[in-house]
Amino acid sequence: MVCGTRPHGRVPHQAYPVSEPTGPSTPLSVSTSAAPPPAGPYSQAIAVGRTVYLAGQTPRTPSGERLREAPFEVQVRQTLDNLESVAKAAGSSLHDAVKVTVYLRPEADVADFNAIYSAYVSEPLPARTTIVSELTTGAVEAEAVLWVPEDRSGSSLDAEVDTAP
């Protein structure tokens, strides 16, 4: 589901549907209750044209519960499931990712991350940057940029509007 709000406070929080055949021509906020709500003043994603920018997701359940103490594999799957949920809300998928940025705590196992991550993306594999960071929200954080294929850009971004706050 796509929830569009006009940028820069022109009409704050007023939802409007995406109807342009190549996606929205102005930035639209993407929102879904299938992923945790933003922990600050940002959107879960922004869609403009056929590009969707997914905000960083961490190992939090859709209700907002942090999984800091969960096993690494559980944290990775929750983080990637959150990204996938937001991608689906924009009518897309992580299989449409063109760029992914991943932040891992120093003790994280990159090979374990890659084994899980590979099920969420497809060929051509997206460009990826992996950064070692002293995260305080868990063992992993990931963000992505998606390119919605032209054959889906009209219908996929012309989704039902999610008007939930």
Element (H, E) at 82: helix 72-89
- Prediction pTM value: 0.80
Q: Which tens digits make up the pLDDT trace of 56-80?
A: 999 999 999 999 999 999 999 999 9
Residues 163 and 160: their CA atoms lie apart, in Å, by 9
Confidence (pLDDT) at 61: 98
CATH (residue range 7-156): 3.30.1330.40
- Residue 25 is predicted with a pLDDT of 80
Show Cβ contacts of residue 159 under 8 Å, excluding neighbours closer than 6 positions: 1, 2, 18, 89, 90, 91
Question: What is the band of 12 on the pLDDT scale with cuts at 50, 70, 90?
Answer: very low
Over residues 17-43, the pLDDT tens digits come to: 444 445 668 899 999 999 999 999 999
94: DSSP letter: G
Query: What residue segments make up the domains of the chain, in order of their start?
Result: 7-156
Note the Cα 55 to chain centre separation in Å: 5
